[in-house]
């Protein structure tokens, strides 16, 4: 998540992760067979393994640390059989300009080409200079990796594209450049699903819609998923533009951001944008709650024929 004011409070916080209160994932409802498989496969313990690797050093835009993180993502996605590559694009924003290196992985849908739509799921891979970025945002980047693995053997009608964005912390550079370069895909894109800071130590499972995203497939799909599966989440209703979903929302694509509340970021994650944003601060229960909900929401969207 891009920078906002960080409190100068000297309140002491624990140096190791303390699980939050139960995240509330009742199973009164009955998920479909495929939804059940995805929920079973999305395991926080395996996501944390990816976070641990990515958390080895800061992944700041235009540094070797970012390139190392990008190579790890490419190696993992190649092993899973996805088509993956780095796309270099010129980028500019309100904070900086330069070349970004987005990592893009795609998987074709089963519908005939003329009817096939697209669902984009993304997370920013870069971190700030001051911290290794376990929660912000190795948590989202690692969740994308686990999503790819969870979908093995589960077909969808629409294409799925996973994107690890560069330069988010410098002003949404990677996502802005991508949306501009791929404007031709906008009409067929059902939705963009973003994940940013999905393992906050004192957090909960929550989401926000884009500034322009109202009643659309992305919000209807999420409500339907919650009714069928019993998975729960809080809607923050902040309509913020501090993460990569905003670039797609601005381009007219329905967008949703899974992650920490912008207004409550300092309370939910006191280690935000600091050297203490390390893997031991990740809340595995929150991480798994997000993984389950995001996986089944993407499944719903990837089988829809329209965004409305």
CB count within 10 Å of CB 186 equals 14
Residue 134 CA, chain-centre distance (Å), reads: 13
- pLDDT, residue 4, reads 53
Q: Kindly report the three-state secondary structure assignment for every residue of 37-77.
A: HHHHHCCHHHHHHHHHHHCCCCCCCCCHHHHHHHHHHHHHH
Summarised one tens digit per residue, pLDDT across range 193-230 is 999 999 999 999 999 999 999 767 888 899 999 999 99
Q: Given a cut of 60, is residue 20 above it in pLDDT?
A: no
- Max CA-CA distance within the chain? 58
Instruction: Select from 137, 135, 117 the least CA-distant residue to 73.
Output: 137
Q: Given a cut of 80, is residue 74 above it in pLDDT?
A: yes
268 vs 5, 13, 65, 119, 283, CA distance in Å? 14, 12, 27, 29, 11
- pLDDT, residue 45, reads 98
Q: Dihedral of the CA atoms 52, 178, 84, 40 (nearest 10)?
A: 50
Residues listed for the chain: 308
Residue 176 token pair: 């802005």
Looking at every residue in the chain, the average pLDDT score rounds to 91
Question: Is 33-301 CATH 3.40.50.920?
Answer: no
Summarised one tens digit per residue, pLDDT across range 262-290 is 999 999 999 999 999 999 999 999 999 99
Model's pTM, two decimal places? 0.92
Tell the burial category of 280 from Cβ atoms under 10 Å away from its Cβ (0-12, 13-18, 19+).
middle
Residue 13 token pair: 């916080």
- pLDDT, residue 149, reads 98
Task: Give the three-state DSSP class for 221.
Answer: helix
- pLDDT, residue 13, reads 30
| Cα-Cα end-to-end distance for the chain | 28
- Rounded to whole angstroms, the Cα distance separating 169 from 193 reads 18
CB 29 within 8 A of CB 230: yes
Sketch the domain layout of the chain as residue ranges: 33-301
Q: Given a cut of 70, is residue 14 above it in pLDDT?
A: no
Summarised one tens digit per residue, pLDDT across range 26-73 is 445 789 999 999 999 999 999 999 999 999 989 999 999 999 999 999
Q: What is the average per-residue pLDDT within 154-177?
A: 98
Summarised one tens digit per residue, pLDDT across range 82-113 is 999 999 999 998 888 999 999 999 999 999 99
**Residue 104: strand pairing partners:** 85, 163
Q: Given a cut of 90, is residue 79 above it in pLDDT?
A: yes
Q: Given a cut of 50, is residue 166 above it in pLDDT?
A: yes
φ, ψ (nearest 5 deg) of residue 86: -95, 130
Enter the DSSP assignment of 191.
E
């Amino acid at each position: 998540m891009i920078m906002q004011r960080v409190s100068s409070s000297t309140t002491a916080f624990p140096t190791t992760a303390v699980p939050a209160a139960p995240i509330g994932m009742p199973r009164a409802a009955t998920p479909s067979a495929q939804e059940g498989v995805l929920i079973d496969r999305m395991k926080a313990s395996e996501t944390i393994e990816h976070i641990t690797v990515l958390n080895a050093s800061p992944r700041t835009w235009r540094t070797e640390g970012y390139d190392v993180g990008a190579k790890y993502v490419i190696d993992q996605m190649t092993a899973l059989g996805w088509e993956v590559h780095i796309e270099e694009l010129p980028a500019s924003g309100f904070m900086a300009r330069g070349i970004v290196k987005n990592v893009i992985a795609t998987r074709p849908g089963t519908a005939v080409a003329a009817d096939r739509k697209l669902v984009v799921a993304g997370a920013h891979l870069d971190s700030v200079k001051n911290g290794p970025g376990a929660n912000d945002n190795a948590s989202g980047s690692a969740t994308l990796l686990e999503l790819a693995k969870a979908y093995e053997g589960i077909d969808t009608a629409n294409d799925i594209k996973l994107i690890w964005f560069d330069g988010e912390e410098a002003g949404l550079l990677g996502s802005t450049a991508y949306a501009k370069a791929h404007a031709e895909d906008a009409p067929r894109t059902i939705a963009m699903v973003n994940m940013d800071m999905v393992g906050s130590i004192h957090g909960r499972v929550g989401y926000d819609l884009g500034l322009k995203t109202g009643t659309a497939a992305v919000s209807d799909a999420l409500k339907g998923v919650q009714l069928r599966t019993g998975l729960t989440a809080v809607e923050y209703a902040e309509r913020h533009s501090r993460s990569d979903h905003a670039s797609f929302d601005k381009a007219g694509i329905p967008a949703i951001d899974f992650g920490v509340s912008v207004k409550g970021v300092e309370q939910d994650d006191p280690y935000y944008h600091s050297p203490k944003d390390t893997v031991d601060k990740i809340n595995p229960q929150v991480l798994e709650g997000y993984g389950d909900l995001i996986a089944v929401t993407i499944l719903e969207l990837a089988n829809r024929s329209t965004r409305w």
